[in-house]
């Protein structure tokens, strides 16, 4: 009997990261392994009202609504980026499947029709409980830029966010393990 090996990562992307691309858009999917349990990573990701907890380019966030689908947040961007603010709408927040989706609906930047999905999945990393994070996006290619340039720019931002998410989550996981040992 043949054994068919499945790639869980590919299946997660197929199930949770569907983007409808139209002409003059680019899309990409990034993956990050984090040495922390899903519940710790999710406690940061799910905070639509506090993205600055792990996104280093955000200085402030004001939410209009009560964390339901359609809730809008106004985000202030730190200096050094070609923007000062962004208006983003919550498209999906699934605490069971650990999926968050947002759409940018305004702001003084060139990320038009930007939509992203981030999903978290349990993973064993070096014999310990960890998290596989998958983030995908689609965005219009601004006039004067190529698809490659646009994807490269957005991927660089997401990679910084995911590195920060990993650093903070892993620090919290170590604290969690240390506190658990102290209680024993």
Domain annotation covers residue 154 = yes
Domain annotation covers residue 38 = yes
Q: Once rounded to an integer, what is the mean pLDDT over residues 65-88?
A: 88
Average model confidence (pLDDT) across the chain: 89
139: buried, middle or exposed (CB in 10 Å: 19+, 13-18, 0-12)? buried
Domain annotation covers residue 183 = no
Question: What is the total count of domains within the chain?
Answer: 1
User: 2 falls in which pLDDT band (50, 70, 90)?
Assistant: very low
Domain annotation covers residue 80 = yes
Domain annotation covers residue 16 = no
Q: Which domain holds residue 106?
A: 21-178
Please tell me the distance from the alpha carbon of residue 102 to that of residue 75, in angstroms, as a whole number.
13
Question: pLDDT digits over 103-151, tens only?
Answer: 999 988 888 999 999 999 999 989 999 999 999 999 999 999 999 999 9
Domain annotation covers residue 13 = no
**pLDDT for the residue numbered 114:** 95
SS (HEC) of the chain: CCCCCCCHHHHHHHHHCCCCCCCCEEEEEEEEEECCCHHHHHHHHCCCCCHHHCCCCEEEEEEECCCCCCCEEEEEECCCCCCCEEEEEEEEEECCCCEEEEEEEEECCCCCCCEEEEEEEEEEECCEEEEEEEEEEEEECCCCCCHHHHHHHHHHHHHHHHHHHHHHHHHHHHHHHHHHHHHC
> For residue 29, what is the domain's CATH number?
3.30.530.20
Inform me whether the pLDDT recorded for 173 exceeds 90. Answer: yes
Q: Residue 72 in contact with residue 87, Cβ under 8 Å?
A: yes
Inform me whether the pLDDT recorded for 14 exceeds 80. Answer: no
Q: Once rounded to an integer, what is the mean pLDDT over residues 72-100?
A: 91
Inform me whether the pLDDT recorded for 51 exceeds 80. Answer: yes
**pLDDT for the residue numbered 177:** 67
Looking at the chain, the whole-number percentage of residues with pLDDT higher than 70 is 91
| Higher-confidence position of 117 and 9 | 117
Please tell me the distance from the alpha carbon of residue 79 to that of residue 62, in angstroms, as a whole number.
18
Domain annotation covers residue 112 = yes
Domain annotation covers residue 3 = no
Question: pLDDT digits over 36-47, tens only?
Answer: 999 999 999 999
Q: Once rounded to an integer, what is the mean pLDDT over residues 64-86?
A: 87
């Amino acid at each position: 009997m043949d054994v068919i090996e499945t790639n869980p990562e590919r299946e997660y992307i197929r199930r949770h990261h569907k983007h409808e691309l139209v002409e003059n858009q680019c899309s990409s999917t990034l993956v990050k392994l984090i040495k922390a349990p899903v519940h710790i990573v999710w406690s940061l990701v799910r905070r639509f009202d506090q993205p600055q907890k792990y996104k280093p380019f955000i200085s402030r966030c004001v939410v209009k609504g009560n964390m339901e689908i359609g809730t809008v947040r106004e985000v202030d961007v730190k200096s050094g980026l070609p923007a000062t603010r962004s208006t983003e709408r919550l498209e999906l927040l699934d605490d069971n499947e650990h999926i968050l989706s947002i759409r940018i609906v305004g702001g003084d930047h060139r990320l038009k029709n930007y939509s992203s999905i981030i999903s978290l999945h349990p993973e064993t990393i070096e014999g310990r409980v960890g998290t596989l994070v998958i983030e995908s996006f689609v965005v219009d290619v601004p006039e004067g830029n190529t698809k490659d340039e646009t994807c490269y720019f957005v991927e660089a931002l997401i990679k910084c966010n995911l590195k920060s998410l990993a650093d903070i989550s892993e620090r919290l996981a170590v604290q969690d393990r240390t506190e658990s040992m102290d209680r024993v």
